Chain A
């Protein structure tokens, strides 16, 4: 079936470095993608989204890149801080699905001092 998966289950980066979290999706009909951050014991928090008519979108310290040709999504975090340590999920959906999200299994980002 369709799935959204992550290339790496864990990622460790030094404080101040840039982080890149990757995500592959398999549903070519997906047209809306979201990145969430989940801290321990809390619900996922919306970070940034991107629609399929865009290749790149920037937020505060975060950038999402979408490559529809290879069905790949990435989240870049600039100047990673200790507060960025969390599990990051990508999610995808498509119009006509009541916007049901399909989530990847998540990447644990650990920021080292």
Chain B
């Protein structure tokens, strides 16, 4: 069966520091991969998605970036974090087509 892993589960970072969140998927090949951010009590905002290695589409202009160095690895990065980057970050995968997205358990990011 397919599984998705995100780490770390929680992270506290100072303003201006770099960020690297990692997401890996097991049990499937060539998945579509997604990064979302969720503000408290709100829905999910799509940040990036990828349909293949090295293919990244950005949905929201900001100081975050994403990379897909391997087929089942998706990384969310920042060179300098802002206070507004605090939130709950979720990675998801899907098989494409009319298939649901499946989410990891997220990373709670707090910026101090």
Q: Which residues of A does B touch, CB under 8 Å?
A: 31-32, 34, 36, 41-46, 49, 51, 89, 95, 98-101, 103-106
In contact, B94 and A43 (Cβ under 8 angstroms): no
Do A104 and B90 touch (CB < 8 A)? no
| Contact-residue size bin, chain B (C-beta under 8 Å from the other chain) | 20 to 34
Main secondary structure on A side of the interface with B: loop
Bound form: Cα–Cα A99–B100 in Å: 9
Q: Is the CB of A44 within 8 A of B90?
A: yes
What residues of A have a CB within 8 angstroms of the CB of B98 in the complex? 31-32, 49, 51, 95, 99
Binds A, one of B13-21, B38-46, B61-69, B74-82: B38-46
Contact between chains at B42 and A99 (CB < 8 Å): no
**A85 nearest CB across to chain B (Å):** 15
User: Which B residues lie within 8 Å of A106 (CB)?
Assistant: 41-43
> A89 and B99: CB pair below 8 A?
no
State the CA gap A89–B51 with chains docked (Å): 24
Q: Given the complex, which residues of B lie within 8 Å of A34, measured CB to CB?
A: 100-101
A100 touches B59 (CB 8 A): yes
The CA of A88 and the CA of B105, in the complex, are separated in Å by 16
| Chain B residues within 8 Å of A99, by CB | 32, 94, 96-99, 101
The distance in angstroms between the C-alpha atoms of A36 and B43, with both chains bound, is 11
Query: Bound complex: CA of A46 vs CA of B93, how far in Å?
Result: 12
> In the bound complex, what is the Cα–Cα distance between A101 and B92 (angstroms)?
11
B57 within 8 A of A: yes
Residues of A within 8 A of B41 (CB): 106
Q: Which residue among B6, B59, B100, B101 has the maximum number of chain A CB atoms within 10 Å of its CB?
A: B100
From A44, A89, A101, contact of B46 by CB (8 A): A101
Q: Give A20 to B57 CA distance when docked, in angstroms.
A: 36
Interface residues of B in 11-61 (CB under 8 A from A): 32, 34, 41-44, 46, 49, 51, 57, 59
Question: Which of A32, A41, A44, A49 is most buried by chain B, counting CB atoms within 10 A of its CB?
Answer: A44
